[in-house]
Amino acid sequence: MEEEIDLRAYIEVLLKYWYWIVGLAVLAAVAAFVFTSLQPATYEARSVVIITAPRYQMQFDERFETQLGVPAYKAFPTLATSDGVLQAVVEAYSPSPASGIEKWTLTTLRRMVAATSEGDPSLVILTVTSRSPEDAAGIANVWADTLVVRGSALYGQGEADAAFFEAQAQEAQVALERAESALVDFQARNQISILGAKLDSLRQAQADYLGQQRSIGYIIQDVEGLGAQLAEQAADQSASLADSLTALLLQIKAFNAGSATPVQLQVDGNASIADKSPAEQRAFLESLVATLRAKSAEIDGRLAELEPQILSSQRDLQAITVESDRLTRTRELARDTYMTLARKLEEARISAQEENGTLHVGSHAAVPEEPVGPSRLFSTAIAGMAGLMVGGIVAFVAEFWRSKETLTERVSPALKTG
């Protein structure tokens, strides 16, 4: 069975030493009251900084998008108590003698301030305690203004961004002027149209020669066909009128091949054109074929001369076209870069002048009228409770030693008798 705890023994001890317990409690309460009464009053001032998303987001160029958004809320209380922000407050504010501050340093200020969000991450509440109510409010307000300036510089577009884009725009303008100057110099020696006209002329000459050669080939075929027809006729009779006219027409076509102006032949009605024998006609046709072949060989030579000229002209035209395209692309790229940076510079300048940033002072601190400490009643009550606890412990310790001494006195005579 579990052993039962008898509380009566403990109550008897407390009742037995009640005067010690009450005395220590009263003594502790009086001491706490006197101590807190002697301490100077402290005042608390609070400023509120609000974190908001940017109201406007300008974008003059879709290719250069500015990513604006609300930064990490948890960073701002830490930023508020950072050395950089607090040191700026130390440099910007001088406390009065009423504050009781002997040495105004970063360590001194750090003991006086606290930054919390109090459950709302979009708020940063800056709390300052000081012996002087004016200094408490003044430090809180300077602290809030410093935090807004530092946070806006970190998370918004300010003068630094405008200066950066201005420098980049100036470099882009110099590059654009250089590219435009190079393109102007190129136009002074641009032979694209000349080389194009030359190449077109060479290609047209080549096409004409090929057309002549094709026509000569057809004529040779016709002449050889007529010669084969004449070879079948008797050698002792004259060639027919039709064969003679055909030979004459083939001769005319041979003269017209390659000629810009066709040859026109007028035949006298009284003249005879069929007075040649078939052998004479064949001999004439053979000489005509030889002439046509010689002309075809001459055209082959001219075509052979044209080929390297055409290839060289194509190479020169392509080279100068590539250079023109390269200079044009360089100019276009430089112009696009300059225009993009110019738009971004204007956007940064407007954003730098905008008052609606990421951080705003929601409320400046007013001079506190009532002190927040030291709290005499609270300190007295805590000290009294502590005195009661200490008195109870002392009572139990005293009862323990008294019981031990009584037990010793009873045991010692028994030991001597034994």
pLDDT digits (tens, 9 = 90+) for 13-52: 777 778 777 888 888 878 877 766 656 778 899 999 988 7
Asked whether the predicted pLDDT for residue 327 surpasses 70, the reply is yes
Where in the chain are all domains bearing CATH 3.30.70.1130? 8-157+355-396
The predicted model scores a pTM of 0.48
Residue whose tokens read 């602290």: 143
Alpha-carbon span 126 to 110, nearest angstrom: 12
Per-residue model confidence (pLDDT) at position 321: 94
Sign of CA dihedral 13, 19, 22, 23: negative
Per-residue model confidence (pLDDT) at position 271: 45
Give the pLDDT band of residue 69 (cuts 50, 70, 90): very low
- Let me know the angle formed at the C-alpha of 413 by 410 and 418, rounded to the nearest 5 degrees: 125
Per-residue model confidence (pLDDT) at position 68: 47
Give the pLDDT band of residue 415 (cuts 50, 70, 90): very low
Secondary structure of the chain as H, E, C letters: CCCCCCCHHHHHHHHHCHHHHHHHHHHHHHHHHHHHHHCCCEEEEEEEEEECCCCCCCCCCCCCCCCCCCCCCCHHHHHHCCHHHHHHHHHHCCCCHHHCCCCCCHHHHHHHEEEECCCCCCEEEEEEEECCHHHHHHHHHHHHHHHHHHHHHHHCCCHHHHHHHHHHHHHHHHHHHHHHHHHHHHHCCCCHHHHHHHHHHHHHHHHHHHHHHHHHHHHHHHHHHHHHHHHCCCCCCCCCHHHHHHHHHHHHHHHHCCCCCCCCCCCCCCCCCCCCCHHHHHHHHHHHHHHHHHHHHHHHHHHHHHHHHHHHHHHHHHHHHHHHHHHHHHHHHHHHHHHHHHHHHHHHHHHHHCCCCCEEEEECCCCCCCCCECCHHHHHHHHHHHHHHHHHHHHHHHHHHHHHHHHHHHHHHHHHHC
Asked whether the predicted pLDDT for residue 185 surpasses 90, the reply is yes
End-to-end CA gap in the chain: 37
State percent of the chain over pLDDT 70: 73
Give the pLDDT band of residue 270 (cuts 50, 70, 90): very low
The tokens describing 357, both together, are: 């940033």
Residues 6+ apart with CB under 8 A from 28: 383, 384, 386, 387, 390
The tokens describing 232, both together, are: 């079948």
Per-residue model confidence (pLDDT) at position 310: 93
Class of domain 8-157+355-396: alpha beta
Alpha carbon distances (Å) from 299 to 191, 263, 413:
30, 20, 157
Alpha-carbon span 91 to 356, nearest angstrom: 26
- Cβ atoms of residues 48 and 123 within 8 Å: yes
Give the pLDDT band of residue 237 (cuts 50, 70, 90): low
- Kindly report the backbone phi and psi dihedral angles of residue 362, in degrees, each rounded to the nearest multiple of 5, phi listed first: -75, -35
Asked whether the predicted pLDDT for residue 401 surpasses 60, the reply is yes
* Higher local confidence (pLDDT), 298 or 395: 298
What average pLDDT score do residues 147-156 get? 78
Sign of CA dihedral 292, 296, 297, 298: positive
Q: How many residues does the chain have?
A: 418
Alpha-carbon span 364 to 140, nearest angstrom: 8
Per-residue model confidence (pLDDT) at position 233: 66
Per-residue model confidence (pLDDT) at position 83: 92
- Cβ atoms of residues 117 and 49 within 8 Å: no
Sign of CA dihedral 257, 259, 260, 262: negative
Q: Where is mean pLDDT largest: 53-62, 203-212, 234-243?
A: 203-212
Asked whether the predicted pLDDT for residue 140 surpasses 50, the reply is yes
What's the one-letter identity of residue 332? E
Per-residue model confidence (pLDDT) at position 330: 94
